Amino acid sequence: MAKVTSYGAASMVTGSCHLFEVGSIRILVDCGMIQGESWQDNYEAFGFDVASIDYLILTHAHADHIGRVPKLVKEGFNGEIIATQATLDISQIMLLDSAALLYEEYETLLRKALRRGEEALVREPLYLKEHVELVYTKKIRKVRYGELIQIAPFLNITFHNAGHILGSAFITITYQEDNMQKRVVFSGDLGSRNRLLLNGLEDVTQSDTLFIESTYGDREHRPITESIAEFRSAIIETMERGGNVLIPSFALERTQEILWLLHSMHEEGILQKCTVYLDSPLAIAATKIYQKYPLELNEKIGLHVALGDNPFGFPQLKYTQRRIDSMEINTVEKNAIIIAGSGMCTGGRILHHLKQRIWNSKNAIIFVGFQVKGTLGRNIVDGAEFLRIYGDEIKIKATVHTINGFSAHADRADMVNWMKKIEGLHHIYLIHGEVEKMELFKSYIHQQLDCKVHIVKKGEEIYL
Ligand SMILES: [Zn+2]
């Protein structure tokens, strides 16, 4: 009997890792990093025999879906990796960046521990750059949306566009059991239908079973048109009073969405006096990958590319790769729009820009992504009066804009409408969410669909 066991993102938001077994074939769907408070759990054993995995499927290149792949390889995975070309490209820059950060943190901890004579207590980094490189020496199959991938005579897999980030997919696994054809869908992360850059989430017509993420299973998003209008007026207002704008942003997807919006504003002649700084090497690398795949983007963006236009570029845009160029931005007095990571102000170059500019009432900070509790970004959004950055206490006088409609995740209405189109669906398993939100999502689904809904626990074996 086919079986699914969740080794991560079971009743939690991160660390996505699900094992599907049928006959003698073992397929791992995603192998993500555990983020937040339980981060140290990444060091623990996976809970399954790594060397016995035949296939690793990657739904998309966010860290919580791919972040432990180098650890998997380091610990003996020798199967085949299956993903879209864009996911493989983005994963490579994300994992190299992750390895560099892990090493930086390790060096800092080691330096401090040496002073205390406690260096033996410092753990080695979770993985190194060489383990990321090792991933790309494995057998890799690049797939397109809709392509039928035969794994065995009784088993095939198809990737479908999930509309979440570039290259993202949900997966249909079709298999024969007891002379019957069965289907199971793994959602990965799902986007909504109205995305700025991507084609929207594809429909799935048939499946018996669905494993679905439930990040926003408790809410509905505001329409994106409202968010675009808010974003534009925040920029225009700040420029009119001679201020500067800081945009803490995630390197992937959100940054490219912001660049596209600024590109449109440039075409309308609104940005003439500004300079836009993309101050993040990772975001610069990600943007270059987006430029490589115009056919994966929606018609509107594709048309710009076909006409020879770069939808993520405009004359006022400057890439600042080096740290020294980033520091140089401090000398700009007005009309700077600075896009820098991290998206929640937990580190990265945005910190020095905040320190430089947030005490001045002419300036503005625009949050374009969700801010998790306990992060510096969330403190600002929640109305903190002071910030402590690099040891200095700084008063927040800049205008704070919080724009919530740019989410890359489908909301509960999007997800249920999508499920309603799945013929034959009788079991829904909720993964990738906080337990309280999953309970709310479960009752929301029950109101609208005649299906069994179950919240998956870590390590629980589910027979399909
Ligand atoms: Zn994601």
Q: Tell me whether residue 108 is in a domain.
A: no
Q: How far is CA 70 from the centre of its chain?
A: 18
Judgement on whether residues 421 and 295 belong to the same structural domain of the protein = no
> What is the whole-number distance in angstroms between the Cα of residue 251 and the centre of ligand 1?
13
What pLDDT does residue 347 have? 86
Look at residue 373 and tell me whether its pLDDT is greater than 80. Answer: no
Q: State the pLDDT confidence band at 321, using cuts at 50, 70 and 90.
A: very high
Q: Tell me whether residue 114 is in a domain.
A: no
Q: Tell me whether residue 156 is in a domain.
A: yes
Judgement on whether residues 213 and 253 belong to the same structural domain of the protein = no
What pLDDT does residue 162 have? 96
Kind and range of the H or E run holding 394: strand 392-395
Look at residue 376 and tell me whether its pLDDT is greater than 70. Answer: yes
Q: State the pLDDT confidence band at 9, using cuts at 50, 70 and 90.
A: low
Q: Which has more pLDDT, 436 or 212? A: 212
Q: What is the pLDDT of residues 172-182, one digit of tens each?
A: 999 999 899 99
> What is the whole-number distance in angstroms between the Cα of residue 117 and the centre of ligand 1?
41
> What is the whole-number distance in angstroms between the Cα of residue 208 and the centre of ligand 1?
24
Judgement on whether residues 204 and 257 belong to the same structural domain of the protein = no
Q: How far is CA 252 from the centre of its chain?
A: 7
Judgement on whether residues 152 and 202 belong to the same structural domain of the protein = yes
Q: State the pLDDT confidence band at 221, using cuts at 50, 70 and 90.
A: confident
CATH number at residue 285: 3.40.50.10890
Mean pLDDT of 49-59: 98
> What is the whole-number distance in angstroms between the Cα of residue 290 and the centre of ligand 1?
16
What pLDDT does residue 13 have? 67
Q: Tell me whether residue 109 is in a domain.
A: no
> What is the whole-number distance in angstroms between the Cα of residue 67 and the centre of ligand 1?
12
What pLDDT does residue 11 have? 62
Q: Tell me whether residue 19 is in a domain.
A: yes
| pTM over the 0.85 mark | yes
Q: Which has more pLDDT, 9 or 333? A: 333
CATH number at residue 420: 3.60.15.10
Domain boundary among 381, 402, 423: 402
Q: Tell me whether residue 113 is in a domain.
A: no
Mean pLDDT of 398-417: 91
> What is the whole-number distance in angstroms between the Cα of residue 189 and the centre of ligand 1?
5
Q: What is the pLDDT of residues 391-406, one digit of tens each?
A: 899 999 999 999 988 8
Q: What is the pLDDT of residues 126-148, one digit of tens each?
A: 999 999 999 999 999 999 999 99
Mean pLDDT of the chain, nearest integer: 93
Judgement on whether residues 144 and 248 belong to the same structural domain of the protein = no
What pLDDT does residue 68 have? 97
Judgement on whether residues 380 and 336 belong to the same structural domain of the protein = yes
What does the alpha-carbon distance between residue 195 and residue 407 come to, in Å, rounded to a whole number? 9
What range does the domain containing 70 cover? 3-100+128-219+409-463
Judgement on whether residues 330 and 450 belong to the same structural domain of the protein = no
Mean pLDDT of 42-71: 96
Judgement on whether residues 95 and 202 belong to the same structural domain of the protein = yes
Domain boundary among 402, 432, 453: 402
What pLDDT does residue 200 have? 86
Would you list the DSSP string of 108-162?
Answer: HHHHHHHHHT-GGGSPPPS--HHHHHHHTTSEEEEE-TT-EEEEETTEEEEEEE-
> Which residues hold their Cβ within 5 A of ligand 1, which is an ion?
62, 189
Judgement on whether residues 190 and 250 belong to the same structural domain of the protein = no
Judgement on whether residues 308 and 386 belong to the same structural domain of the protein = yes
The CA distances from residue 79 to 21, 55, 289, 344, in Å, are: 14, 5, 26, 36
> What is the whole-number distance in angstroms between the Cα of residue 210 and the centre of ligand 1?
18
What does the alpha-carbon distance between residue 273 and residue 57 come to, in Å, rounded to a whole number? 47
What DSSP character marks residue 70? H
Judgement on whether residues 95 and 239 belong to the same structural domain of the protein = no
Q: Tell me whether residue 115 is in a domain.
A: no
Cβ-count burial 231-266 (b if 16+ within 10 Å, e if not): bbebbeebbeeebbbbbbbbbbbbbbbbbbbbbbbb
> What is the whole-number distance in angstroms between the Cα of residue 406 and the centre of ligand 1?
14
Q: Tell me whether residue 121 is in a domain.
A: no
Judgement on whether residues 165 and 203 belong to the same structural domain of the protein = yes
What pLDDT does residue 436 have? 85
Q: State the pLDDT confidence band at 10, using cuts at 50, 70 and 90.
A: low
Would you list the DSSP string of 188-216?
Answer: -S---S--SSBPPPPP--B-SEEEEE-TT
Q: Which of 445, 6, 411, 419 is nearest to 207 (CA)?
A: 419
> What is the whole-number distance in angstroms between the Cα of residue 14 and the centre of ligand 1?
9
Number of compact structural domains in the chain? 2
Q: What is the pLDDT of residues 275-299, one digit of tens each?
A: 999 999 999 999 999 999 988 999 9
Look at residue 12 and tell me whether its pLDDT is greater than 70. Answer: no
Instruction: Find all residues with CB under 8 Å of 217, minimum gap 6, and list them.
Output: 412, 415, 430, 433, 437, 438, 440, 441, 442, 444
